[in-house]
Amino acid sequence: MMVVTQYGNPEERGMYMEGFGVAIIGCGAIHRVHADAVLNNGMGKILWFVDIKEDRAIASAEKYGGSWCTDYREVLEDPRVNIVHICTPHYLHSKMAIDAVKAGKHAIVEKPAAMNLEQARMMAQAAKENKRRITINFQNRFNPTSIKAKEIVDSGEMGKIRGVKGLVTWFRDTDYYVESGWRGGFQTEGGGVLINQSIHTLDLMRWLVGELESIEGHVSTRALKDVIEVEDTAEATLYFKNGARGIFYATNCYTDNSPVEIEIHFEKGTLRIYDDELIKIQDGKWERLIDGISEASPYKSYWGKSHATLIKHFYENIIDGAEKTIIPVEEGMWSLEILDGIYKSSATGNRIIIDNSL
Ligand SMILES: NC(=O)c1ccc[n+]([C@@H]2O[C@H](COP(=O)([O-])OP(=O)(O)OC[C@H]3O[C@@H](n4cnc5c(N)ncnc54)[C@H](O)[C@@H]3O)[C@@H](O)[C@H]2O)c1
């Protein structure tokens, strides 16, 4: 039986079954991961590539097929477009997503949801009012390691969580910031290693362990002091409502992009995620639950391999008409709330209460 939800009637879903009309806004580094995913999942046709840099929009339209333009408002007026992928700098996410849902489109927004909680709240409100979906691209929730770890946490088989550790030690140099001028500025990126590189890890820690009670942390700009105005290093202690305590460290000042590490310490053992590997340690015994051996990715290794899975799930989400959107803006706000707490704590030296009211 077909369930009619606020997200559309059966006829509308029938239309989607014939394939979504897709537009990709922003044709920089990440957009080809989105374009390849749409091409490979067979659930949609890319009708438009949009970029203010005309040469980028043209190059993508030539490579993948479809039309191009330089003003995203043009594609929002195209009734054939059902879904837009927003792959633009952070400061544009909320405006573009709100415009998209007002124009009747669903939106996949690259992380972070927005520059701050205020903007994200407006996005959530606009999605609700216009009965359209916005998902935030935290693709690492779909990594096999994350899915298995979540399953173990939810099963309770290892007892209560006592602690969690998140480590992101990456390399970013001057070239990375020069090639895209919006990176490194407060007005355009909204922050540094917290909002851009390590936000995935903060999202996973919150998703796996639960709501926070408070946070204490510090940010600073060290090796990239002459290049960026935002922080290149951050650390925090996270106090969760369930009594667990978290430690977190992130930096763009390392000399390599090391695998991200997340460790969960339970009453009855430990789970350790090390990139694509998941290890369970119990009674002194190590068990490799996921071996980390997987096909090489054509993209940057630190982007992970789960963009395509998230995109497919979102498309199915629209077709199914399920009440809950996968990774809705409200969940995209979890990590924004954590980093807001770290910035406030760093500025005041205080432990900051997280209100979770979103
Ligand atoms: N999920 C991930 O793992 C992951 C990885 C990399 C980047 N990202 C995110 O993807 C987004 C884009 O990052 P990027 O590295 O591809 O940046 P980028 O600078 O390489 O690309 C951004 C593109 O947007 C275009 N643009 C700027 N203003 C525009 C406008 N008004 N209309 C249309 N296009 C416009 C730029 O010209 C540029 O081509 C960011 O939110 C970033 O955090 C996510």
Domains and CATH numbers, the chain: 10-139+309-328 (3.40.50.720), 141-278+334-353 (3.30.360.10)
Residue 246 contacts residue 240 (beta carbons within 8 Å): yes
Which residue among 54, 69, 75, 110 is best mutated to probe the pocket of ligand 1, counting the most ligand atoms within 8 A of its Cβ?
Answer: 110
Chain centroid to Cα 214, Å, comes to 22
Residue nearest to ligand 1 atom 40, measured at CA: 89
Residue 356 contacts residue 333 (beta carbons within 8 Å): no
Residue 250 contacts residue 204 (beta carbons within 8 Å): no
Strands, E assignment, 5-144: 20-25, 44-50, 67-69, 83-86, 106-110, 134-137
What distance in angstroms lies between residue 31's CA and the mean position of ligand 1's atoms?
Answer: 7
Residue 240 contacts residue 135 (beta carbons within 8 Å): no
Q: Where are the alpha helices (DSSP H) in 257-328?
A: 307-320
In ligand 1, the atom with minimum distance to the C-alpha of 180 is: 19
> Position 92: which residue type?
L
In short, whether 183's Cβ falls inside 6 Å of ligand 1 is: no
Q: Is the peptide bond before 259 cis (omega within 30 degrees of 0)?
A: no
Which residue among 88, 93, 123 is best mutated to probe the pocket of ligand 1, counting the most ligand atoms within 8 A of its Cβ?
Answer: 88
In short, whether 53's Cβ falls inside 6 Å of ligand 1 is: yes
pLDDT value at position 297?
78
Structure tokens at 198: 């390590």
In short, whether 57's Cβ falls inside 6 Å of ligand 1 is: no
Structure tokens at 156: 């309770």
| Residue 83 burial class via C-beta count within 10 angstroms: exposed 0-12, middle 13-18, buried 19 and up | buried
Residue nearest to ligand 1 atom 9, measured at CA: 110
In short, whether 99's Cβ falls inside 6 Å of ligand 1 is: no
What distance in angstroms lies between residue 180's CA and the mean position of ligand 1's atoms?
Answer: 8
pLDDT value at position 165?
98
What distance in angstroms lies between residue 2's CA and the mean position of ligand 1's atoms?
Answer: 37
> Position 108: which residue type?
I
| Distance (Å) of CA 65 to CA 25, 26, 29, 58 | 15, 16, 18, 10
Distance CA 132, CA 110 (A): 17
pLDDT value at position 300?
79
Q: Determine the angle formed by the axes of helices 307-320 and 10-17, rounding to 10 degrees.
A: 140
What distance in angstroms lies between residue 6's CA and the mean position of ligand 1's atoms?
Answer: 31
Q: Determine the angle formed by the axes of helices 117-130 and 93-102, rounding to 10 degrees.
A: 10
Residue 131 contacts residue 6 (beta carbons within 8 Å): yes
Instruction: Determine how β-strand 261-266 pairs with β-strand 212-220.
Output: unpaired
| Residue 71 backbone dihedrals phi, psi, to 5 degrees | -125, 115
Which residues pair with residue 289 across a beta bridge? none
Locate tokens 């917290």: which residue? 194
Structure tokens at 289: 């639950």
Per-residue pLDDT for the chain (358 aa), expressed as one digit of tens each? 334 344 555 556 666 777 999 999 999 999 999 999 999 999 999 999 999 999 999 999 999 999 999 999 999 999 999 999 999 999 999 999 999 999 999 999 999 999 999 999 999 999 999 999 999 999 999 999 999 999 999 999 999 999 999 999 999 999 999 999 999 999 999 999 999 999 999 999 999 999 999 999 999 999 999 999 999 999 999 999 999 999 999 999 999 999 999 999 999 999 999 999 999 999 999 999 999 877 777 777 777 789 999 999 999 999 999 999 999 999 999 999 999 999 999 999 999 999 877 7
In ligand 1, the atom with minimum distance to the C-alpha of 93 is: 41
In short, whether 88's Cβ falls inside 6 Å of ligand 1 is: yes
| Residue 233 backbone dihedrals phi, psi, to 5 degrees | -145, 140
